[in-house]
Chain A
Amino acid sequence: MAFFVARRLLYLVPVLIAVSLLTFLIASLLPGDLAYTILGDQATPENVAALRRDMGLDQPIWWRYLSWLGGVLQGDFGRSFRTGQTVLQAVAERLPVSIELMLLAQLGALAIGVPLAIICAARSGGPFDRFMTGTAFGMLSVPTFLSAILLIYFFAVELRWLPATGYVPFAEDPAGNLRFMVLPALTLALAEWPGIMRVLRSDMIATLQEDYIALAKAKGLKASRILFVHALKPSSLTLVTITGINIGRLIGGTVIVETIFALPGIGRLLIGAIYTRDLIILQGVVLLVGAGFVIVNFIVDLLYAVLDPRIRHGHA
C-alpha cells in the first residue's frame, strides 16, 4: 500500500506542475495587457511602463513563471488590484459555501439515485425499471441552468415556499442557511442522480446474477436483506468511481448554480473576477480549483485502492 501511495504521489507532482504552467500560460500569453487593464482609461504610456516594471511584467516569461510559482509555493497567490484582498483570503472566505453546496448536492443525488437503482435492479426489465431508466436518460439532457430555472419557477415564483436567491452563513442561522441551500443543492442533485442510478443499476443487475446471491435466496434470507446487504456492498466501489468521475462536472455545475442563486462561493468569485477582469483573482482561483480537482481525483484513486486490493497490487 505504501508503495502504491508513493507511486501515485510521484505522478501527482508533474501533473500539478503542468496545471500551474497551463494556468500561468493562459493568463500570460493570451492577448490583453494586465497593466492596461488595471490602469483602465487613464493609462498613459509612462505609467503603463512604470506599472509593468513594478509588477515585473517586463521580465522574460520563464522568469515571471518561476517567481510566480515561488510565491504560490510560499502561499502568496497575489492580491486583487480591485479589492486589495489576497487570493487566499478571498478563497478561504468562500470555500465553505461551495463545499457545503457540493456535499449537500452529492448527498441529495445519492438519496435519489441509490434507492431507485436498487428498486430498478430488483425488478430489471419491469415497467418501473423501464420508466426510471428512461427518465434518467432524459434527465441527462437537462442542463443545470435549465433545472435551476424550473425549480425557481415552481418553488420560488409560483409556490413561494423557498427563496430564489440569498445566503446566510450556517453559523449565524442554521435553519435559514439550509432554506437558502435547498434549491441550489437540489438543482445539482438533479443533474447528478441519473449517472449514479444508471451505473449502480447495471452493476447491481450483474451482482444479482452471482452464485452467492442464489445461495442467500436459497437460505431463505429476506429480499430486502439480500438487496441492501449482499448486493449493495460490493457495488459501493462503483459509487466511489462515479463520484470521482463526476466531480469535474459538479465543480462546473457549482459555478453556474452559485451564480444563479447568488451564493457567495468560489464559483461566484470566479465569475465576478471575469466580469471585473480581476486577472490576479482569476488566475489564483483557476489554479486552486485545478489543483484541488487533481488532488480530489488522487484521493478517489487511493480510496479505490483501499477498497479493492486487486488495484493496489496491480492486477486490475
Chain B
Amino acid sequence: MATLELTIDEGVAAQPAKRGRRLGLLFWLAIGWMIFMFAVAILAPVLPLPSPTDMDMLERRAPFSMEHWLGTDGLGRDELSRLIHGARISLVVGLCAPIIGLTLGGALGMLAGYFRGRFESLVVGSMDVLLAFPPLILALAVTAFLGQSILNLTFILGVLGIPAFMRVARAATLTLARREFVIAAQALGATHARILLRELLPNVILPLFAFFLLAVAVTIVVEGALSFLGLGVPPPISSWGTMIGEGRESLDVAPRLAFLPAAAMFLTVLSFNLVGDTLRALTDPRQGAL
C-alpha cells in the first residue's frame, strides 16, 4: 500500500508514460491470483476433480495424499474440489451483486449529479435511508424473510451496494459536468442523453470500475460472513464461508479445514482490494492527472 501510494504520488503524476511499469510486483501478483481463481472456478466441471459432494465415511479428515491433494473434510469430501467449487459460489455472488450496484447506483448517481435539483435530493435522501441501517443487519433481516438462495443473496447484497456506487458516480459527475468538454458539447446542442452517455460515462466509468473491485472484495466478505453463520447460501451448496464455518467445529483436530478456505478467501479479497485501490489512486480526480 505504502509503496504503491508513493510511486503514484511521485512518479506517475510527473511521468504518466511510466504508469504501466510503476504498478509494482504486488499489483501483478494480485492480477495473477485473480486470473488463476477465475480459471479454476470456470473450468471446475472439466477439471479431473472428485465430486465435491461425494462422502467417504472411511476417509474422514484424511491428510494430504495423491488421491486427495488437500485431504478430505469431516464428511470425507475432497477438500480441493470443495475449495474450487466454493470459489464458484463466492465469486459468482461476489461479482454479480456489485454489478447490480454498479448499474443501478451508477445510473442514479450520474443522473443525480447531472440534473441536480429535486431529483438529486430525492435520490440522496432515499439512499440515506438505506444507509441508516448497519448493512449486515439489513442483509440478515432480508434474507431471513426472503429465504436463503443464491439469487436472493445476490439481490440483497447488490441492493445494499447501490448507495455507495451512487455516491461515487455522483461525485465524479458533479466535477466533470462543469468541465469545458461538457460545456462545449452543450453549446453544440448535444442532447442530455448524448452528453451523459458519450461525454460523461467514459469518464465516470473508470472510478466506478475501481470502486467495483473494492465492492467485490467487500461482497465476498459479507457473503462469507452470512454463509459462515449458516444464513447465506442454502445447505447443500457450500461457499468458502460455509467451509470456514464447518472447519471451525474441528479446529482442535484438523485446523486446516478452516484455514485452507480462509487462506483462499483472504488472498482473493486482498487481490481485489489491492487492484481496486491501485486503480482508484490512478483514477482519483484529486490527483490531478488530467
Contact = CB atoms under 8 A, between A and B. Distances in A.
A130 B225 contact: no
A166 to B, nearest CB: 16
B265 A146 contact: yes
Interface string B123-138: 0000011101111111
Contact of A146 (B147, B262, B273): B262
Interface string A1-36: 000000000000001001100110011001110000
Contacts of A149: 244, 247-248, 251, 258-259, 262
Contacts of B273: 137, 140-141
B270 A141 contact: yes
Given A30-B145, A248-B134, A274 B140 contact: yes
Interface in B187-244: 217, 221, 224-225, 228-229, 231, 241, 244
A30 B2 contact: no
Contacts of A19: 129, 132-133
A234 to B, nearest CB: 21
Nearest to A32: B145
A276 B251 CA distance: 27
A51 interface: no
Given A137-B1, A143-B269, A255-B137, A30 B146 contact: yes
Contacts of B141: 23, 26-27, 274, 282, 286
A270 B139 CA distance: 12
A145 B140 contact: no
B128 A130 contact: no
A146 B145 contact: no
A256 B146 contact: no
Size bracket of the B interface: 35 or more
B252 A157 contact: yes
Interface string B90-126: 0000000000000000000000000000000000000
A71 interface: no
A289 B252 contact: no
Contacts of B6: 125
Nearest to A135: B1
Interface residues of A, number: 51
A27 B145 contact: yes
Given A27-B145, A136-B1, A137-B273, A153 B132 contact: no
Contacts of A282: 141, 144
A198 to B, nearest CB: 8
B134 A252 contact: yes
A133 B6 CA distance: 12
Contacts of A248: 134-135
B134 A249 contact: yes
B216 to A, nearest CB: 12
A142 to B, nearest CB: 6
Contact of A271 (B133, B140, B269): B140
A271 to B, nearest CB: 6
Interface string A123-153: 0010001100110111011111110011011
A157 B255 contact: yes
B134 A294 contact: no
A22 B133 contact: yes
22 contacts: A19-B133, A23-B141, A30-B145, A31-B146, A129-B2, A130-B3, A136-B1, A137-B274, A138-B270, A141-B217, A144-B225, A150-B262, A247-B134, A252-B135, A252-B136, A252-B137, A270-B137, A270-B140, A274-B231, A282-B141, A289-B133, A290-B133
Interface of B: 1-3, 5-6, 128-130, 132-138, 140-142, 144-147, 217, 221, 224-225, 228-229, 231, 241, 244-245, 247-248, 251-252, 255, 258-259, 262, 265-266, 269-270, 273-274, 277
For the complex of A and B, list the 7 residue pairs with the smallest distance between their C-beta atoms, beginning with the closest. A252-B136, A137-B1, A30-B145, A133-B2, A141-B270, A251-B134, A18-B129
